[in-house]
């Protein structure tokens, strides 16, 4: 059985054929983003070593960094105990968020306020020229 076949057998995709995938920087543990994968995205990620997701808005494969250059190289793909969530350990080039921040998790609930805890590193206009 191939790695892909074994992974597919272990993953419980939802009714839309998707599974949530959390991207984490492999060496620092920093949580970068959450996206969705379908079976084809899992296959491409495992085969190429470059992380591929499923874009629900575009209804197609989304190869991370294809327009911005901010690619994610796969270090390890982990399946949780229930098989219904993936942890994708990556080596992230630059920023992970379309807002130009390193992480998509940049708003913190602190007391009675929401506080931005991550500054924009690259103007999104530069990322998506």
> What are 20-46's pLDDT values in tens digits?
999 999 999 999 999 999 999 999 999
Domain locations in the chain?
4-95
Count Cβ atoms below 10 Å from residue 51 Cβ, excluding itself: 27
> Residue 114: is it exposed, middle or buried by C-beta count within 10 angstroms (0-12/13-18/19+)?
exposed
pTM score, two decimals?
Answer: 0.92
Count Cβ atoms below 10 Å from residue 69 Cβ, excluding itself: 10
Question: Tokens 């992480």 appear where?
Answer: 103
Return the CATH architecture of domain 4-95. Roll (3.10)
Residues that constitute the known binding site: 80-82, 84, 97, 104
User: CA 22, CA 79: separation in Å to the nearest integer?
Assistant: 11
Residues that constitute the known binding site for Mg(2+): 80, 82, 84
pLDDT surpassing 90 at residue 16? yes
pLDDT tens-digit profile of 66-109?
A: 888 899 999 999 999 999 999 999 999 999 999 999 999 999 99
Residues that constitute the known binding site for Zn(2+): 81, 97, 104
Residue 65 binned pLDDT confidence (cut-offs 50, 70, 90): confident
């Amino acid at each position: 059985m191939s790695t892909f076949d074994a992974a597919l057998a272990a993953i419980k995709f939802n009714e839309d054929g998707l599974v949530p995938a959390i991207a984490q920087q492999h060496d620092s543990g920093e949580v970068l983003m959450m996206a969705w994968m379908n079976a084809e995205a899992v296959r491409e990620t495992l085969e190429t070593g470059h992380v591929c997701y499923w874009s629900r808005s575009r209804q197609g494969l989304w190869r991370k960094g294809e327009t911005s250059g901010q690619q994610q190289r796969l270090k390890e793909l982990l399946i949780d105990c229930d098989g219904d969530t993936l942890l994708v350990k990556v080596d992230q080039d630059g920023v992970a968020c379309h807002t130009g921040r390193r992480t998509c998790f940049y708003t913190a609930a602190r007391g009675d306020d929401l506080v931005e805890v991550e500054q924009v590193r690259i103007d999104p206009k530069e990322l998506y020229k």
